Amino acid sequence: MEILTAKDVIFNQNLHYPSIDIFENHTTFLQGPSGCGKSTLLKLFNATLSPDQGVISYKEHDISTLNTITLRQEVLLVSQSVYLFDTSISENFDEYYRYRNLPPLSNEEKKDFLHICSADFDLTSNCMNMSGGERQRIYLAICLSLMPKVFMLDEPTSALDYETATRVLENIKSFCQENKITLIVISHDAKLTQHYADHIITLEKKV
């Protein structure tokens, strides 16, 4: 069954999404040329952007009628920018949990999520001193630990070598399947897309 849909959506005059269906508990990859509107679609799905026309639905409710904060917690977008504080990995987890009014995770739980994302660093390491790819994986681990219903990743492996990218996607996909989380991934990598997608949506660039 569909968990997210876009019907006859137009954004900013030039982006048109006639009919997009995202199936619950499946892994959907979005592909298409630069500027065709992949990132914009994910921002429309969590109401960061609003369509000029058309309807986006989440669990059969028009998202313009839903509470935006709750929607964004359930339909979580991990953008290409990484948001981490210049503190330890452990404190970064805690800060995100404080912000959501959730009790902090145990160290074991934090390590489990870091492991899923191939980020097996010491919890006391300061994020400030990590590389771009390391920070991306730590951020992914924190976001995944928040257990969204839909996990949307905008080029999650852009800073990773192919082997690490494969391992991270493999683990995230398995975790999402086990926990009934719907996964949406934007990727420019045709090999990764073919390998991990249950569904592929190809957006076209309008001229």
Ligand X SMILES: Nc1ncnc2c1ncn2[C@@H]1O[C@H](COP(=O)(O)OP(=O)(O)OP(=O)(O)O)[C@@H](O)[C@H]1O
| Binding stretches for ligand X (CB under 6 A) | 12, 15, 32, 34-40, 49
Going by C-beta distance under 8 Å and a sequence separation of 6 or more, which residues neighbour residue 189? 157, 165
**Strand partners of residue 200:** 29
Q: How far is the CB of 15 from ligand X (least distance, A)?
A: 6
Give CA–CA dist 177/142, Å, rounded: 18
Place of tokens 């990764």: 192
| Closest to ligand X by CB, 79 or 164 | 79
Q: How far is the CB of 126 from ligand X (least distance, A)?
A: 30
| Closest to ligand X by CB, 37 or 113 | 37
Q: How far is the CB of 156 from ligand X (least distance, A)?
A: 13
Q: How far is the CB of 34 from ligand X (least distance, A)?
A: 3
Q: What is the DSSP string of 147-196?
A: --SEEEEESTTTTS-HHHHHHHHHHHHHHHHHTT-EEEEE-S-HHHHHHH
Give CA–CA dist 60/30, Å, rounded: 21
Residues 15/39, Cβ–Cβ less than 8 Å: no
| Closest to ligand X by CB, 11 or 93 | 11
| Closest to ligand X by CB, 134 or 189 | 189
